[in-house]
A = this chain, B = another copy of it.
Amino acid sequence: MIGRLNHVAIAVRDIAAASQLYRGTLGATVSDPEALPEHGVTVVFITLPNTKIELLEPLGADSPIAKFLEKNPDGGMHHLCYEVDDIHAARDRLVKSGARVLGSGEPKIGAHGKPVLFLHPKDFNGTLIELEQA
């Protein structure tokens, strides 16, 4: 069912400093920051030859990554995003197997403009998993 690893998301406190670290120290291709107020984050994309790393900085009072950064003051890996062909078929398969889909259980439009779901980390070895219909 799961296809490509679309991205690894890393939560950071200071996206400018983190961008400079990836651009300068690690020599990667790093985009300019993009504010996504409807998702509560500012995002930067690091393009690797085979996948992407996304840096996320909290934006606004209700950022979904604020609590994560309280628990992990240095930042850290926040979620993995796997691509699926059909998000509704994926959801039905997951629910049937007993896995918990976060929120209403209905796909939402994610930061890339595509339908996404998030799965409960307790059901997946402590890893927050995003599924994106590619």
Give residues 19-60 of A contacting B (CB, 8 Å): 21, 24-28, 48-51, 53, 55
- How many angstroms from the CA of A8 to the CA of B51 in the assembled complex? 12
Interface residues contributed by chain A, number (CB under 8 Å) = 41
Using Cβ atoms and an 8 Å threshold, which residues of chain B touch A55?
Answer: 125
Given contacts A4-B49, A4-B50, A50-B5, contact A75 B21 (CB under 8 A): no
* Candidates B2, B25, B28, B122; contact of A99 at CB < 8 Å: B25
Residues on B with beta carbons closer than 8 Å to the beta carbon of A26: 1-2, 82
Out of B1, B8, B27, B97, name the residue touching A5 (CB < 8 Å). Answer: B8
Q: Are A127 and B77 in contact (CB-based, < 8 A)?
A: yes
| Chain B residues in 8 Å Cβ range of A28 | 1-2
Interface status of A93 (Cβ within 8 A of chain B): yes
Query: A5, A18, A51, A99 — which one has the most chain B CB atoms within 10 A of its CB?
Result: A5
B121-A74 in contact (CB<8A): yes
The 8 nearest A-B residue pairs measured at CB: A1-B27, A74-B126, A76-B126, A75-B125, A77-B77, A75-B126, A25-B97, A50-B50
